[in-house]
Chain A
Amino acid sequence: MNRAAPWPLALMLTLAACAHKAPPPSPPAARPAVARAVLRLHVPADLDAHGDVVIPRDAIVQQGSLPGVFVLGTRGCARFRLVKIGATTARVAQILSGLNGTETLVLPPFRGVHDGTPVHPQPTTTRGPHGSR
């Protein structure tokens, strides 16, 4: 009677558990910094008659099916912000929900801009190209 006989299973499990090493975490995602024009929104200059924020239409991006804008975060990174878009013209779009008018928007081109990409603000006017409101 081999007394170790019933246990090779457990033994193997133990060994397997010891041999199993967790793969190392992958390095942080490479998000090369880009230089983009930004637009700082102001209250009440960027509000329409209804009190909704109005932004240049080309600042809107689609991530998957989600409409949004890239907002410059506190750490200088572009962050995707979900917005609800109201009336749009060829140049401007009314934002019904998602912005409160104090954000800084990243402007196109959006190639190379992802959620979390560091953005160096290009010197531009704080008034957007939609100053015609």
Chain B
Amino acid sequence: MAAVDPKPEGPLNISGRLTRYFINSKITVLVVIVAILAGILALHTTPRTENPQIVVPAANIIVMKPGASPREVKNLVVDPLQAILRGMRGIHHTYGLALDSMGVVTVKFQVGENRVASLVRLYNKIMSNMNRMPPGTQQPIIQPLDVNQVPIVTISLASAAMSGVQLRAIATEVLHHLRRVPGTSRAYLIGGERRKINIVLHPRLMRRYDVTLDDIRKVVQATNVEIPSGHFTNHNRRATIHAGTMLRSAKDVGRVVVSLYNHRPVYLRDVATITDGAGRIKTVHEIGFGPAYTQARPHDIDVPEVTIAIAKRAGTNAVTVADAVLHKLSALQGRIIPDTVHVNVTRDDGQRANSAVNTLIEHLFIAVATVVVLLVVFLGWRAAAIVTITIPLILFVTLAVDDLEGQTINRITLFALILSLGLLVDDSIVVIENIFRHYAQAGVDRVRGAVSAVNEIGRPTNLATLAVIVAFLPMLYVSGMMGPYMAPIPKNVPIAMITSLFIAYTVAPWAARMWLKGKGGHGHDQPGILQRGYARIMRGLLSRPWARRGFLFGIILAFAAVLALPALRIVSFKMLPRNNNNSFDITVRTHAGSTLEDTNRVITALGDIVRGNRYVTSYDLSAGAMGAINFSGLLRGETLKKGPAVGEVQVHLVRKSERPVSSIAIVRSLRPAIDQLAARTRAMIKIVQHPPGPPVRATIMAEVFGPNYRKVRAIANDLRYGLFAHRPHLAGIDSTVPHRSTQYIIKVDRKEAALHGVSAAQAAWTLKGFLSGISAGAVHIPRAKEPVPIRFRVPIADHIGPYDLGKIFVTNPEGREIPLSAIVRVIKRRGPEPIYQKDGRDVEYVTAGMSQGSPVYPVLHMWQYLKHHTVDGVHLKQDFMKDPSSLHYGLRWSGEMRLTLNVFRDLGSAFGVAILLIYVILVGYYRSFAIPVIVMGSIPLTIIGVFPGHAALGQYFTATSMIGVIALAGVVVRNSLLLIDFILDYRRGGHSLTEAVVQAGAVRLRPIMLTALAIVFGTAIMVMDPVFGGLAISLIFGTLASTILTLFVIPLGYFAYANFSERGGRAPRLH
């Protein structure tokens, strides 16, 4: 506007008034001080997390119906329960699983539903329908699945010399102390052995002394009582009385008289061996140490461990809670934990969150520094210094607002700040530049000059800022888990933008009044070499219609060529790339019917494989159960997995800042050996890397539905072994179709039982007592911190096969002992097979992970294949979004593919809405329908940079790239808006069209370049981030391409439009 006369002094607009108030005010200083203090306070007190906490209320409802087959459980429990629950508000999906004697329904509420309200509704719904439960079902157990159940700290206590009971006792003691740390919530132990009083019965001796299991159990239970029985009052004193004989030790239990034999008492110890200890081993938890381990190594490779897992209370700061826990732990070491026990912190989410946040604060600092250097180069020391002051103020205010809103500081928040960095310096730059120009005029009053400078640029600056805010806001409405995950961006960028506007109108003019020198500037009003070059090219284009047309045609051609990149798969789509993590998991499911020992062997072999990698510090081996749960495991339903055939290895790596290789590369290098092991042992081994964003059940997931479940199974099997197995890069292909297993049915022959006077129930109970053991209360040891149950069992050797039933006896009412083999028949048959349901329909899942690449393309390939081919003679109806029909066999592609489609759909809609809003605002501003179209012409130009940028760096076009594209819409509109504004101003100043276009471009060239470079340099630090690299690439390349092209295309567009309209709507004939 240098050549334009300043607008006549009219009434000030809001920007001018703000400046007038603050420019001389003492309040400005206070604003600065308050912003700084609030920011520092926020930085210290706001809870830190690695990722935004996503609230996905979910719960498992477990219903036991002893003796019912899976089909029965499905028909009587799982189906009706799902129907009841699906009638509730806010339900997203229900997943059913019918097992032998047990049904599980997992309810998932919509993302963002209030957790407490959802669970209350769930309880209410179930309790009010209790009367509809079929007879024989037990009270449903409702397990809420909550993010706050996921332990933030896990501590492993390991020792090979101590027994599992001893180790667990120490861990219990430690747990007891750590529980007192404020902010902790659920704390529990994994591994070790619970102390039990094991009564190992000897059938031979029992027969000799003529006692039965039932006798013993009754006697022990009857002996183990002590009840408060009132009080004595005498001699003016009152004393309470307890009557009974409590069992307090294994010895006590051994001294129980179970019967009389030849008029002499038979003690329990006469017919059984009684031990105080571990009992039967059902799970194994061990820890091993890799080459990068830094503490003293134990003698053994894998050492039995007990893990103490501690979760935090909702709303507390993971960093402080974890610190307090670990501080307490170090105090306990040597006092409660003996020195022979190896103590390792295997998970510390506090530290993880803190280092993630600190790294990003560091990055933010670097980004600010680069932008400052840029400002110094472009604006000179003083102006740069003033703009630099405003940057931390804006960031601090934004952080303080987050703190007040109850948000956390996480990676996404900080990415939002880095992203907004390039945008937020702009307001101050524009203000300072204009004040500078005013001061350069001789004899201007410093206060009034600054006020009128701000007043002048107030309207376009407000509008440009509004455009950026409007571009981001629709992102708040992204659905699914991605919405809350990305939410800090649309929340923080607008806050930062509004703050930057306020600071630019208040603090910046105030600082300019104090420090900005009016004269003897840097001569940046003289056109530099860039401006002269630009003017020459522009004049050339304007004067030659063919060159103009050729230029525009070239742009269109380039645009078309760029759009071909994704079509030719030079740029691939993916939801989110993998993240470089400090740990990953390997889950194992051995063949059905495998023993714990088999599973443990696979697990140990996996430990041997991962130990070979030099970046492994330690690994937790679990067999028979899973290790400490994590967020993605929770949502994948891993809390339900147990039994001898499951196992898990949690691998911990050197911190990523100290390791040159990403966890992705480490997993890739381990995969061949793990695949070999899987092939050798026929175990299902999956490597689970923690996703950077919302977790899914599986990367690729095909849900097969259909009217006949057996056929559905056959189809699922065909898909698994036929279609999936032959696609490259698919790893860990699995399905829910069960392996065959054997089951023995021991049928009580009713006639024989009646003849012998034995009831079927009695026979079944006796059998259970012998095969799986019976609990009979607990001994009362006041000092024990966990209950010590009394368990009866028969030594394992006496019940190894189904044909050893002759050794087990039941006593009939006449006191005669009947061998079980006389009244039962043993039938061998196929084991019960679980039935899966989703949203009330039978389903089988076929799942796979990806060893590399995006899941989008294999799924599209398989989709194409299934469109033209039949499976098992059935043509599958395929769907991505909608529910398949229940009458036909159908397949729905779910997993990450579904999430990807949802996310791109939502972000695409957000983009559309953003563009519409920007258009509406621009129409309001220009009072014209055509000029906004020219202004927004710069938006598609960004694509010319975005796709080639991704192709050049070999990156996926991800959800964050898409966010970058949306952000670009706001950014580039700002540039073209100011450009058009200047052209209009020049024209009002009486310049010819050509001259106005050329001059405006030349004058705006420098600030536009400055803004663009600020964005490029500000976000450059993000390029290396595996997740947000896409955003950075979009911003950098999109801004560069759009800026350079905008400078030509927008003036040319306006030139053509103005020519056209000035000729009264006739086609423009130029020169």
In the complex, chain B residues 187-202 whose Cβ is within 8 Å of any chain A Cβ = 192-193
In the bound complex, do residue B277 and residue A65 qualify as a contact, i.e. CB atoms below 8 Å apart?
A: yes
Q: Are A5 and B36 in contact (CB under 8 A)?
A: yes
In the complex, are the beta carbons of B511 and A1 less than 8 A apart?
yes
Q: Which listed residue, B284, B296, B511, B600, touches A26 by the CB 8 Å rule?
A: B296
Decide: B596 and A25 in contact? CB cutoff 8 A: no
Please pick, from A5, A10, A62, the residue contacting B361 in the complex, using a CB distance under 8 A: A10
Chain A residues with CB under 8 A of B359:
17
Minimum CB distance partner of B597 in chain A: A98
> Once bound together, how far apart are the Cα atoms of A24 and B795, in whole Å?
49
Task: Assess the B284–A82 pair: CB atoms within 8 A.
Answer: yes
0 or 1 for each of A90-133: is its CB under 8 Å from B? (1 = yes): 00001011100000000000000011110000000000000000
The residue that B396 contacts in the complex, of A6, A25, A62, with Cβ under 8 A, is A6
* Chain A residues within an 8 Å CB radius of B40: 6, 9
A contact residues around B412 at 8 Å (CB): none
B579 at interface by CB-CB < 8 Å: no
Which residues of chain A are within 8 angstroms of B721 by Cβ–Cβ distance?
Answer: none
Assess A65 versus B193: contact at CB under 8 Å? Given A6-B39, A6-B40, A114-B300: yes
Q: Could you tell me if A25 and B304 are in contact, using CB atoms closer than 8 angstroms?
A: no
What separation, in Å, do the CA atoms of A82 and B597 have in the docked complex?
6
Q: Which of B424-432, B652-660, B938-946 contacts A (4 or more CB under 8 A)?
A: B652-660
| B307 in the interface (beta carbon within 8 A) | no
* Beta-carbon contact of B36 and A3 below 8 Å: no
- A17 with B160, Cβ < 8 A, contacts A1-B389, A85-B796, A114-B300 known: no
Docked complex Cα distance between A25 and B302 (Å): 18
Write the chain B residue with the least CB distance to A87: B797
Encode contact with A along B295-307: 1 for CB under 8 Å, 0 otherwise: 1111111111000
A43 within 8 A of B: no
Residues of B within 8 A of A97 (CB): 595-598
**Min CB distance, A81 to chain B, in Å?**
7
Q: List B contacts of A82 (CB < 8 A).
A: 281, 284, 596-597, 600-601, 623
A66, B284: Cβ atoms closer than 8 Å:
yes
**CB–CB A84/B293 < 8 A:** no
Residues of A within 8 A of B655 (CB): 22
Q: How far is the CA of A52 from the CA of B532 in the complex (A)?
A: 93
B800 with A13: CB separation less than 8 A: no
Does B292 count as interface, using CB distance less than 8 angstroms?
yes
* Interface residue? B225 (CB, 8 A): no
- Contact between chains at A63 and B36 (CB < 8 Å): no
A107 to B924, CA, bound (A): 90
One of B162-170, B228-236, B828-836, B1052-1060 at the interface: B162-170
Contact status B597-A64, CB under 8 Å: no
B-chain residues with CB within 8 Å of residue A3 when the two chains form the complex: 385, 388-389
Given contacts A65-B163, A115-B160, contact A26 B36 (CB under 8 A): no
Is the Cβ of A14 less than 8 Å from the Cβ of B362? yes
Q: Known A22-B654, A86-B797; judge A10-B597 contact (CB<8 A).
A: no
- Smallest CB gap from B29: residue in A: A1
Residues in B with CB closer than 8 Å to A7 are: 365, 368, 392
A64 lies within 8 A of B301 (CB) = no
Question: Min CB distance, A13 to chain B, in Å?
Answer: 5
The answer to whether A114 and B36 have CB atoms under 8 Å apart is no
Residues B299 and A23 in contact, CB atoms below 8 Å apart: no
Query: With A and B bound together, what is the CA distance between A84 and B800 in angstroms?
Result: 11
In Å, the complex CA distance between A27 and B297 comes to 8
Are A84 and B365 within 8 A (Cβ)?
A: no
The answer to the question of B32 belonging to the interface, with a C-beta cut-off of 8 Å to chain A, is yes
Q: Is the Cβ of B294 less than 8 Å from the Cβ of A24?
A: yes
Contact for B800 among A17, A50, A83, CB less than 8 A:
A50
Contact across chains for B301 and A26 when beta carbons are under 8 A apart:
no
With known contacts A13-B358, A84-B595, A84-B597, A67–B281 Cβ distance under 8 A = yes
Let me know if A65 and B278 touch, CB within 8 A.
yes
**A86-B796 in contact given A17-B657, A64-B164 (Cβ < 8 Å):** yes
B366 CB, min distance to chain A CBs, angstroms = 8
Provide the B743-787 mask, 1 if CB < 8 A to any CB of A, else 0.
Answer: 000000000000000000000000000000000000000000000
Residue numbers in A under 8 Å from B796 (CB-CB): 84-86, 96
**Residue among B162, B284, B292, B299 with the highest chain A CB neighbour number at 10 A:** B299
Q: Is B43 an interface residue (CB 8 A)?
A: yes
Distance in angstroms from B351 CB to nearest chain A CB is 12
How far apart are the CA atoms of A63 and B43 in the complex, in Å?
48
Q: Please give, as numbers and ranges, the residues of chain B lying within 8 Å of A26 by CB-CB distance.
A: 293-297
Shortest beta-carbon distance from A133 to chain B in Å: 15
Tell me if A65 and B281 are in contact (CB < 8 A): yes
Contact indicator per residue, chain B 783-815, by CB within 8 Å of chain A (1) or not (0): 000000000000111101100000000000000
Say whether A1 contacts B797, CB under 8 Å: no
- In the complex, what residues of A have CB within 8 A of residue B192's CB? 65
Provide the residues of chain B in CB contact with A88, threshold 8 Å. 797
With both chains docked as a complex, state the minimum distance between the C-beta of B390 and any C-beta of chain A, in angstroms.
Answer: 10
- Please, how many angstroms separate the alpha-carbon atoms of A60 and B471 in the complex? 70
**CB within 8 A of B159: which of A9, A17, A64?**
A64
Closest to B167 in A: A64
Q: Is B364 located at the chain interface by the 8 A CB criterion? A: yes
Chain B contacts for A85, CB-based, 8 A: 796
Closest to A14 in B: B362
B291: Cβ under 8 A from any A Cβ: yes
Closest to B296 in A: A26
A25 touches B600 (CB 8 A): no
Residues of B within 8 A of A1 (CB): 32, 389, 511
**1/0 per position for A2-40, CB-CB distance to B under 8 A?**
010111011101100100001111111101000000000
Q: Shortest beta-carbon distance, A58 to chain B, in Å?
A: 18
Q: In whole angstroms, how far apart are the Cα atoms of A29 and B297 in the complex?
A: 5
Cross-chain contact B304 with A66 (CB below 8 angstroms): yes
Residue of A whose beta carbon sits closest to that of B384:
A3
B604 on interface, CB distance cutoff 8 Å: yes
Which residue of chain B has the shortest Cβ distance to A32 in the bound complex?
Answer: B299
Cα of A5 to Cα of B388 in the assembled complex, Å: 12
Q: Which of A1, A13, A31 gathers most chain B CB within 10 Å?
A: A1
With A and B bound together, what is the CA distance between A79 and B277 in angstroms? 25
Interchain CB contact (< 8 A) of A9 among B32, B43, B193, B795: B43
Contacts of A66 in B (CB 8 A): 164, 281, 284, 304
Q: Given the complex of chains A and B, what is the CA–CA distance between A94 and B797 in angstroms?
A: 8
Q: How far is the CB of B761 from chain A (nearest CB, A)?
A: 29
Report the bound CA distance from A28 to B597 in whole Å.
28
- With A22-B658, A29-B297 in contact, do A64 and B162 touch (Cβ < 8 Å)? yes
Establish whether residues B302 and A115, one from each chain, have CB atoms under 8 Å apart when the complex forms.
yes
Which A residues are CB-close (under 8 A) to B302? 80, 115
- Using a CB-CB cutoff of 8 Å, which residues 350-398 of chain B contact chain A? 358-359, 361-362, 364-365, 368, 385, 388-389, 392-393, 396
Give the docked Cα–Cα distance between A116 and B623 (Å).
20
- Chain B, Cβ-Cβ closest to A25: B292
Measured between alpha carbons, how far is A97 from B371 in the docked complex, in Å?
67
> Residue on B with the closest CB to A81?
B601
Q: Nearest Cβ in chain A — how far from B724, in angstroms?
A: 31
Indicate if the CB atoms of B596 and A65 lie closer than 8 Å.
Answer: no
B160 engages A114 (CB within 8 Å): yes
CA A105 – CA B787 in complex, angstroms?
Answer: 38
| CB-contact partner of B165 in A65, A80, A86, under 8 A | A65
**Closest beta carbon of chain B to A75's beta carbon, Å:** 10
Most buried by A among B277, B389, B511: B389
Contact A83–B301 (Cβ < 8 Å): no
User: When chains A and B are docked, how far (Å) is the Cα of A87 from the Cα of B296?
Assistant: 39
25 contacts between A and B (CB under 8 A): A6-B36, A7-B365, A7-B392, A14-B365, A17-B657, A22-B658, A28-B297, A50-B800, A50-B801, A62-B163, A64-B304, A66-B164, A79-B604, A81-B597, A82-B281, A82-B596, A84-B796, A87-B797, A97-B597, A97-B598, A98-B595, A114-B300, A114-B301, A115-B302, A116-B299
Given contact pairs A3-B389, A13-B358, A86-B797, enumerate 4 new A-B contacts (beta carbons under 8 Å): A25-B292, A63-B300, A81-B601, A117-B299
Closest 10 CB pairs of A and B: A87-B797, A65-B164, A64-B304, A98-B597, A115-B300, A29-B297, A116-B301, A114-B299, A97-B595, A6-B392
